């Protein structure tokens, strides 16, 4: 049931993307994309450090979070239809920057998530009852 819902959700978001507006935003879009990635990576590392998680989690959790975009799409579409924000001068540009960054993250994110899971050791099989250090290959 979930895949068709996701497909419809992303298709709806894709209809809002205007490539001409996106091209005009240029540097602002690149800065947003970088800030979003840095925020996710840095926030995950900080959170893992605060709870004293493993070094692998601190290093790789941020990469695994990059493709998480469903809430961002929902919020930007709701915000776009909210009367108080519809009249903002750069609202159309902001919507396009957010949607484009989500597109980029959804394309590059899954391979980065796979890389993060493999390098962190999270994909290794564990024997039932074994501790995290008793990993078998």
What are the Cα distances from residue 118, in Å, to 3, 42, 60, 83, 96?
A: 25, 20, 10, 45, 33
pLDDT bucket at 137, cuts 50 / 70 / 90: very low
Q: Rounded to whole angstroms, how far apart are CA atoms 66 and 126? A: 26
Predicted local confidence at residue 130, as pLDDT = 55
pLDDT, one tens digit per residue, over 23-53 is 777 788 788 888 988 998 999 999 999 999 9
């Amino acid at each position: 049931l979930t895949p068709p819902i996701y497909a419809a959700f992303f298709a709806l978001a894709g209809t809002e993307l205007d490539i001409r507006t996106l091209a005009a935003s240029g540097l602002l879009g690149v800065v947003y994309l970088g800030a979003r990635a840095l925020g996710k990576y840095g926030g995950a590392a900080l959170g893992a450090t605060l709870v004293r998680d493993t070094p692998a989690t601190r290093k790789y959790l941020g990469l695994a979070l990059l493709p998480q975009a469903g809430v961002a799409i929902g919020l930007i579409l709701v915000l776009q239809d909210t009367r108080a924000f519809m009249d903002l001068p750069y609202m159309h540009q902001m919507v396009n920057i957010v949607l484009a960054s989500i597109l980029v993250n959804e394309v590059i994110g899954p391979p980065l998530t796979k890389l993060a899971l493999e390098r962190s050791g999270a994909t290794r099989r564990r024997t039932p009852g074994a501790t995290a250090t008793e990993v078998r290959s």
